[in-house]
Amino acid sequence: WKNAVTFVSISLAAYTSWKYYQAVLRMSTPPVKQSVDELIGDTPLVLIKSLSKATGSHIYAKMELCNPAGSAKDRVAFNVIKEAEQDGRLVKGKPGWVFEGTSGSTGISIALLCNALGYRAHISLPDDTSNEKLSLLESLGATINKVKPASIVDPNQYVNAAKRACEELVKNGGRGIFADQFENEANWRIHYETTGPEIYKQMNGQIDGFVAGCGTGGTITGVCKYLKERISPHVVLADPQGSGFYNRINYGVMYDKVEKEGTRRRHQVDTMVEGIGLNRITRNFEMGEHYIDASIRVTDDQAIKMSKFLSVQDGLFVGSSTAINAVAAVKLSKNLGKGSRIVIIACDSGSRHLSKFWKTAKDIDRDITLEQVMID
């Protein structure tokens, strides 16, 4: 009888310990993601050591390039689809199309997410889009419609072509949405709901400066709305040469009128930098314009040199718009003073820009100094 009691006690103790061990193991193992879309967001923030050491500020990069399709646009593509599912324009588990006119990161994010979520992507783009972006879209299996480069006022311009293709599908009884990243407010909303709070938390609410470029305006609007509702960071829009935002923010004028009259052949600006800079006002920019304190103009030459500098000094291999932000952050650090805490957006990786921007950047001397980078 005594032996039986001892046996039961030992078994019970062993069982409890085993269960306890399993519970501890479960808690210490990172949860498994159930689908690729769950990898979006919660991107890390990394100190850019070289720039921080040289300026005496703490300059951090929000690594949006760590998203599964390689840029902040994953958040936008996901939210556009999610909002369409909520209002019934797309239905989970049923065939549906996402249309967009883009030569940039958004198309790649849409194509990848459509695959992850069971939809199809239709991307219209100008026929001079770089080969690497084209083959990425082809590899992801998107339907591609190449059109002649044209002004936004031309019905055959690629954004208008995407919109029309969507309208035709819906008219014929198909299910589809036009993502419309420039005007669709699902864009800034997701940065307000995710990117802004992430940055705020990662910085413990201590942010003196924030720097981002502006393509659609979604990132700067969403992040700055969230931050400015809580703290007062100095917000800088980093603008490439030839873009109208610089004048718009600093002097209240833009080349918008020229664009509306259709005298500009294309609304793209004269720069090697991709994804940012515009000569018209979009809904996503308009919504956050009042949060922006200043704009700093950065030349292509500075951006090219900065990208090489960051690659060699920090192992940060970034695309052109990130390099622009880094140049503007160095300038901003002079105004904010030593010890200030500045966050920049690292939008995408250099590998997206090998055939154009990095073709020039790779030949820059690896011993280039920050002073040489900043010469304009």
User: By the criterion CB under 6 A, which residues form the site for ligand PMP?
Assistant: 71, 104-105, 213-219, 274-276, 319, 321, 347-348
Q: Which is nearer to ligand PMP, 50 or 67 (CB)?
A: 67
Least Å distance between CB 203 and ligand PMP? 20
Least Å distance between CB 289 and ligand PMP? 12
Closest CA to 300 of 351, 254, 347, 242: 242
**Vertex 219, ends 75 and 151: CA angle to 5°?**
100
Q: Which is nearer to ligand PMP, 55 or 71 (CB)?
A: 71
Least Å distance between CB 368 and ligand PMP? 23
Q: Where would I find the H helices in the chain?
A: 2-28, 49-55, 73-86, 105-117, 131-139, 158-171, 186-190, 196-202, 218-228, 245-251, 256-260, 283-286, 300-314, 320-336, 357-361, 370-374
Least Å distance between CB 194 and ligand PMP? 13
The closest residue (CB) to ligand PMP is 275
Least Å distance between CB 272 and ligand PMP? 12
CA 253 to CA 245: how far, in whole Å?
9
Which residues face 348 on adjacent strands? 71
Q: Which is nearer to ligand PMP, 37 or 348 (CB)?
A: 348
Residue in this structure with the two tokens 């950047």, named with its chain if needed: 361
Q: Which is nearer to ligand PMP, 169 or 324 (CB)?
A: 324
Closest CA to 323 of 310, 335, 337, 341: 310
Q: What is the DSSP letter of 369?
A: -
Q: Which is nearer to ligand PMP, 96 or 107 (CB)?
A: 107
